[in-house]
């Protein structure tokens, strides 16, 4: 070993000990005579002192040393002179008086500073990710992620789960996201697909009698990137046999409640037990199925109060079966015309044709696009419903329900950001249940599963599949945290007939179903336990726990928005011979 101790562990108790340390030069302070070096390793920082009077060789060696050089020092731990302790450092009461310095590897000047927390262009960070990861914030994030995964493994192990690996090379599936394909050398024209999730395999493990399975599973989806989406990402994939919805939810809730208490003790839960909402309720109140509960600004249905208002916009929407809903932007009555126009412009992105409003400035006249159409009584009723007070701004959207919900949900999030309503130290977990089993896809003219193909409908709603599928509910549950869906799960179908019925409902031809899922259907005929599970997204959860704005910050080597690894420069062209082996010919895109 190059070191007897880590840099971060030395304390008063070590005073007098001779130690060897090795690490990176975090910072060097040369006083002409005495020289200080802050030596850093993953475990912390310690001050090394070289005094030319007592150890001229060591002092001489440190003359050349620069930031990020890797060195080894031999020295003695001693108390710092009174008054020169550094309370900001865990090791600040002591220092290491060095007698010997060995340079293990010099370093070029880094393209950005490691010892400072400053904004650096993300492309540069990614190109030199190995340097970026040295920085405190990133090393903290990577450590946090380790602790999250470690907690999960320990917890599930203690609860009788076993971790089973499933193949990365598997089979393409219809539905869902675009697959990453891997050409087969041995089978010309055939392809493996990387798993979008180990869904079928974990169900087969239930058939296999594993009963309690989990995996920290890498998943692959070839879709466009977002701040919370990468081409490859990590799920905690877990599945249990002989359980009902309640059992899986209880387990996941206990797991994550205990985990955040241990991993992020400075954060508090918004509520425990976690609030639960039906899909219907969460949409009515927040306009989206992954709400942020940390603030109010809830949506209110005002259809009954405006139906005969004489205001064309509202009446037209209602006449076409549309919706009129509103939210109260607390304290925003002083928004200027321009600011409201900006909100309106924002609303148009989501299909709204406009925004109606009532502004209630504290010491001025009410301003409104439509209040003049209302009787004093209905105006009063609106105010009451929206809990309006002087100083508030009431925003109304009238349109198709989907547009109304989405627009108001977006405005709610936008306004909360502007007003800084969300406490960053609060974790608002909640559950959303009772999703529609399927929804009608206009483009494809067929029913689409809300969750996935293997979700079981509510037992009492199975008859509805034949008569009114849109009314059936699925045994699905989503885990939501601070504006993000961080996990989804369901009780699965374990019966061949029901599974085939669902395939048929979503328009999967029987022969296609058999070709793609024959193994699963067949397995269901050999004694399959009722089972269900959940798949929380590790990246998103770590992102939120770390307080980061995107998941790249909690992934050691992420890809950029164009799905490119800018450090390794992947993807990249390959040798013609490789293509030949794979029976692949590249057809360049037109243009």
By CB under 7 A, name the binding residues for RNA.
27, 29-34, 36, 38, 47, 49, 51-53, 66-67, 80-81, 83-86, 88-89, 92, 95, 109, 111-113, 116, 118-124, 175-178, 196-197, 199, 221, 223-229, 349, 443, 448-453, 550, 560-562, 564, 566
Helices 510-523 & 496-505 angle (0-180, nearest 10): 150
Minimum separation from the CB atom of position 431 to RNA (A): 18
Task: For RNA, give the closer residue by CB, 14 or 80.
Answer: 80
Minimum separation from the CB atom of position 404 to RNA (A): 15
Minimum separation from the CB atom of position 576 to RNA (A): 23
Written as one string, the DSSP assignment of 481-498 is ETTEEEEEEEEBP--HHH
- Provide the CB-side half-sphere exposure for 139 (13 A, CA): 13
Minimum separation from the CB atom of position 326 to RNA (A): 22
Residue with tokens 């001229």: 56
Minimum separation from the CB atom of position 402 to RNA (A): 10
Minimum separation from the CB atom of position 146 to RNA (A): 24
ω into residue 504 within 30 of 0, thus cis? no
Beta bridge partners of 112: none
Cβ proximity of 58 and 103 under 8 Å: no
Cβ proximity of 414 and 346 under 8 Å: yes
Angle (CA) 91 97 98, round 5°: 120
Pairing mode, strands 300-301 and 323-329: antiparallel
Name the nearest CA neighbour of 64 among 99, 94, 105, 93: 105
Task: For RNA, give the closer residue by CB, 118 or 158.
Answer: 118
Minimum separation from the CB atom of position 147 to RNA (A): 25
Using CA atoms, how far residue 157 sits from 199, 253, 543, in Å, is 21, 16, 24
Task: For RNA, give the closer residue by CB, 151 or 503.
Answer: 503
Task: For RNA, give the closer residue by CB, 89 or 269.
Answer: 89
Task: For RNA, give the closer residue by CB, 339 or 561.
Answer: 561
Cβ proximity of 536 and 235 under 8 Å: yes
Task: For RNA, give the closer residue by CB, 128 or 191.
Answer: 128
Minimum separation from the CB atom of position 186 to RNA (A): 28
- Provide the CB-side half-sphere exposure for 216 (13 A, CA): 13
Task: For RNA, give the closer residue by CB, 201 or 259.
Answer: 201
What are the respective helix, strand and coil percentages of the chain, to the nearest 5?
A: 30, 25, 40
Structure letter (DSSP) for residue 370 = S
Residues 227 and 316: their CA atoms lie apart, in Å, by 38
Cβ proximity of 430 and 480 under 8 Å: yes
Task: For RNA, give the closer residue by CB, 288 or 300.
Answer: 288
Task: For RNA, give the closer residue by CB, 443 or 460.
Answer: 443
Minimum separation from the CB atom of position 166 to RNA (A): 13
Q: How many CB atoms lie within 10 A of CB 506?
A: 18
């Amino acid at each position: 070993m190059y070191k007897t101790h880590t840099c971060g562990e030395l304390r008063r108790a070590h005073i007098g000990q001779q130690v060897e340390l090795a690490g990176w030069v975090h910072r060097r302070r040369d006083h002409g005579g005495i020289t200080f070096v802050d030596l850093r390793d993953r475990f912390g920082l310690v001050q090394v002192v070289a005094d030319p009077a007592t150890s001229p060789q060591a002092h001489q060696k440190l003359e050349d040393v620069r930031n990020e050089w890797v060195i080894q020092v031999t020295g003695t731990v001693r108390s710092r002179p009174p008054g020169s302790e550094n309370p900001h450092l865990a090791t600040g009461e002591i220092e290491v008086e060095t007698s010997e310095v060995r340079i293990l590897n010099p370093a070029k000047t880094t393209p950005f500073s490691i010892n400072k927390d400053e904004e650096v262009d993300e492309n540069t960070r990614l190109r030199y990710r190995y340097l970026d990861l040295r920085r405190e914030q990133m090393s903290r994030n990577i450590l946090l992620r380790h602790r999250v995964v470690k907690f999960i493994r320990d917890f599930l192990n203690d609860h009788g789960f076993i971790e089973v690996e499933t193949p990365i090379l598997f089979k393409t599936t219809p539905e869902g996201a675009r697959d990453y394909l891997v050409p087969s050398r041995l089978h010309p024209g055939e392809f493996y697909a990387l798993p979008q999730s180990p869904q079928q395999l974990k169900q087969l493990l239930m058939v296999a009698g594993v009963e309690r399975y989990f995996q920290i599973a890498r998943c692959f989806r070839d879709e466009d990137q977002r701040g919370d989406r990468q081409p490859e990402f990590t799920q905690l994939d877990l599945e249990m046999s002989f359980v009902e919805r309640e059992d899986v939810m209880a387990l996941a809730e206990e797991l994550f409640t205990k985990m955040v208490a241990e991993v992020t003790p400075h954060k508090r839960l918004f509520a425990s037990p976690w609030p639960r909402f039906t899909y219907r309720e969460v949409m009515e109140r927040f306009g989206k199925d992954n709400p942020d509960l940390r603030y109010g600004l809830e949506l209110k249905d005002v259809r009954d109060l405006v139906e005969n208002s004489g205001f064309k916009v509202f009446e037209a929407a209602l006449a076409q079966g549309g919706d009129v809903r509103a939210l109260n932007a607390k304290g925003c009555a002083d928004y200027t015309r321009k600011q409201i126009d900006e909100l309106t412009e924002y609303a148009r992105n989501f299909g709204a044709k406009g925004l109606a409003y009532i502004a209630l400035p504290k010491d001025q006249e009410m301003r409104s696009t439509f209040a003049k159409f209302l009787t004093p009584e209905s105006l009063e009723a609106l105010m009451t419903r929206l809990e309006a007070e002087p100083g508030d701004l009431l925003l109304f959207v009238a349109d198709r329900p989907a547009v109304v919900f989405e627009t108001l949900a977006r405005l709610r999030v936008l306004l909360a950001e502007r007003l800084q309503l969300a406490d960053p130290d609060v974790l608002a977990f909640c559950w959303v249940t009772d999703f529609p089993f399927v929804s009608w896809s206009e483009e494809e003219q067929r029913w689409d599963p809300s969750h996935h193909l293997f979700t079981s409908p509510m037992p009492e709603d199975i008859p509805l599949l034949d008569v009114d599928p849109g009314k059936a509910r699925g045994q699905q549950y989503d885990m939501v945290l601070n504006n993000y869906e961080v996990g989804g799960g369901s009780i699965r179908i374990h019966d061949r007939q029901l599974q085939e019925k669902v395939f048929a409902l979503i328009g999967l031809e029987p022969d296609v179903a058999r070709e793609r899922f024959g193994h699963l259907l067949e397995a269901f005929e050999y004694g399959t336990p009722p089972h269900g599970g959940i798949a929380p997204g590790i990246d998103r959860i770590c992102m939120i726990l770390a307080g980061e704005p995107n998941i790249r910050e909690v992934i050691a080597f992420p890809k950029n928005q164009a799905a490119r690894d800018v450090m390794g420069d992947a993807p990249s062209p390959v040798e013609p011979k490789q293509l030949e082996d794979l029976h692949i010919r590249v057809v360049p895109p037109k243009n």
